Amino acid sequence: MPSVAPHTQNLSGTEESPSSRTEVAIQVDCEVEIETIARLQQKLTNGTICLEDILLCPLTLDIPVSLEFPQRGIYQDCRDVLELRQRVEKDLHSFTGEGNFWLPIVLTSKGALYAEAIASADPLSYLQPFHLPDRYRQPLYELGQRLLKLVSATPSTYLMQFGFAGETVFFDRLFPFPATPAIASLNIQLPNLFACHWHCLTNTPILDLTIAPASEYRVFQP
């Protein structure tokens, strides 16, 4: 599994790994390989691999414009955080700002599954499940649904970053892959968000998302 890094708030929307290397998981003949962007481009240039024969699974937004893959447009939309916020304000009539909560949306070919929210415990750790009362959860689900339509989302596991201003939910940014906060789902959610992402990309059915019985719920208190 590709390495993940502590989340850092920035307006570029990118996630940096501890080694400052951009890594991408790819599938070749049912085998998973992890490559840096530079190494991947080298292999594409010298003909070692062909895009038509692999399934690219980028786990970063820092992708060169020259790299062609089916979800490139979505990644570009998500990378430009400020522009996407402006589109959300204009087209979805929603508030925007900087938040420290994440709603995982597992978009399969059959529809969307909403996982339990994730909260930031401190700059280096995350908590799931983070329970939201219905008065927050339903508007959040609606925002997520409309947002995915806005960016013409394809099957993937998305993290919608959001926050609260009093009783109002506002949008921050969107990750088209399990970004760093998804580590909170390991040993907590079944299947975890990384497994969900792979299922979405390979069109493998996901029947339900469940939380381990012994998990401790944190409840949002405005």
* Domain positions in the chain: 95-219
Read off the pTM.
Answer: 0.82
Residues forming a β-bridge with 175: 159
CA-based diameter of the chain, in Å? 55
Could you read off the pLDDT of 11-36 as tens digits, one per residue? 334 443 333 334 444 443 457 788 88
What dihedral angle (degrees, nearest 10) is formed by the CA atoms of 98, 65, 150, 161? -20
Element (H, E) at 219: strand 218-219
140: closest CA among 121, 112, 120?
A: 112
Measured CA to CA, the distance from residue 137 to residue 83 in angstroms comes to 25
Could you read off the pLDDT of 120-178 as tens digits, one per residue? 987 778 999 998 989 999 999 999 999 999 999 999 999 999 999 888 999 999 999 99
How big is the CA angle at 128 (ends 125 and 133), to the nearest 5 degrees?
130
Domain 95-219, what fold?
D-amino Acid Aminotransferase; Chain A, domain 1 (3.30.470)
